[in-house]
């Protein structure tokens, strides 16, 4: 089972996830709560699983983090909620733990890392930028120091 299928399974009891939806070109995904339930729509034009999982993670972020209709991005509060949803997706798919695991597996560059995690390189870059913004140049765990730019994981002895 790939990462996309794992997430579908993880949330299948809480949400209706439809990845065969016809959505406008500029809308890769959409989350809505209505009388039918909590629904995530993924644009069926997304063919690559990596693209779908990145969109799904952000839409799950909306499920967990946002309230109401935030489609009008001219409002500051809506943009803030959009950012919260994206950040939730980054932490779900590109966690610090996964960065450490990838290093332990011998992953040494961003292309390999995106492949290992199962995300697009663009999503990975945005996740790393988010971590730099959140933590600064590095993050310490009990056994590791994860540097974000350049990306490097140092194991403490």
Q: Which CATH number does the domain housing residue 29 bear?
A: 1.10.10
Q: In this predicted structure, what is the pLDDT of residue 35? A: 92
Q: How far is 61 from 63, CA to CA, in rounded Å? A: 5
Same domain, 47 and 112: no
As for how many domains the chain has, the answer is: 2
Q: In this predicted structure, what is the pLDDT of residue 102? A: 97
End-to-end CA distance of the chain: 35
Which stretches of the chain drop beneath a pLDDT of 50? none
Q: Are 93 and 117 in contact (CB under 8 A)?
A: yes
Domain of 70 in residue numbering reads as 1-93
Same domain, 33 and 99: no
Q: Are 14 and 7 in contact (CB under 8 A)?
A: no
Q: In this predicted structure, what is the pLDDT of residue 71? A: 84
- Report if pTM > 0.85: yes
Q: How far is 4 from 50, CA to CA, in rounded Å? A: 8
């Amino acid at each position: 089972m790939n990462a996309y299928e794992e997430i579908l399974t993880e949330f299948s009891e809480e949400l209706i996830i439809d990845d065969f939806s016809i959505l406008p070109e500029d809308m890769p995904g959409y989350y809505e709560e209505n009388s039918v339930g909590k629904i995530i729509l993924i644009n069926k034009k997304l063919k690559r699983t990596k693209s779908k999982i990145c969109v799904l993670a952000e839409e799950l972020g909306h499920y967990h983090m946002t309230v109401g209709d935030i489609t009008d991005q001219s409002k500051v509060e809506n943009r803030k909620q959009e950012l919260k949803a994206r950040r939730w997706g980054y932490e779900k798919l590109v966690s610090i733990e996964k960065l450490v695991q990838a290093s332990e597996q011998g992953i040494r560059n961003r292309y390999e890392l995106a492949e290992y995690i199962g995300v697009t390189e663009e999503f990975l870059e945005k996740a790393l930028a988010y971590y730099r913004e959140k933590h600064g140049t590095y993050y310490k765990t009990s056994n590791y120091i994860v540097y974000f730019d350049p990306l490097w994981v140092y194991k403490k002895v």
